[in-house]
Amino acid sequence: MLFVVEDEGKARQFLEAADTLVTGRVGKYGVAEAKWPHYGRRRMFVVAERDVHQGTLRAQRLPEHPPALRKAMRGKGAEKLESEQVAGLLPEAFMRNGQR
């Protein structure tokens, strides 16, 4: 899922809100909670509008785990949002606008 927002500041605000709200995961009996996949978090990207216009599709995404689980796993302070920078969402060939 791709969200295009106005600028980098709005992207940060969006990610901060989503970090606490997007907590769904697929749990499996007998598997440690830290290993339960959070598919929604891994497949949600936030892009600043300018990056789309420049053709970079540089994006950010949420950390693998929600804040409460990060804190439980790594202790106090780990719940702070550190978004992941994704270099590009599409292979370069898709970004050439039909140029060969």
Per-residue pLDDT, 93 = 54
H/E element, 85: strand 84-86
Give the percent of the chain with pLDDT over 90.
Answer: 34
The residue extents of the domains of the chain are: 2-96
pLDDT single digits (tens) 3-44: 999 999 999 999 999 999 999 989 999 998 888 888 888 889
- The Cα 64–Cα 59 span in angstroms is 15
- The Cα 10–Cα 29 span in angstroms is 38
Question: In a 3-state reduction of DSSP, which class is residue 99?
Answer: coil
Give this prediction's pTM. 0.76
Give the count of beta carbons closer than 10 Å to the beta carbon of residue 64.
Answer: 13
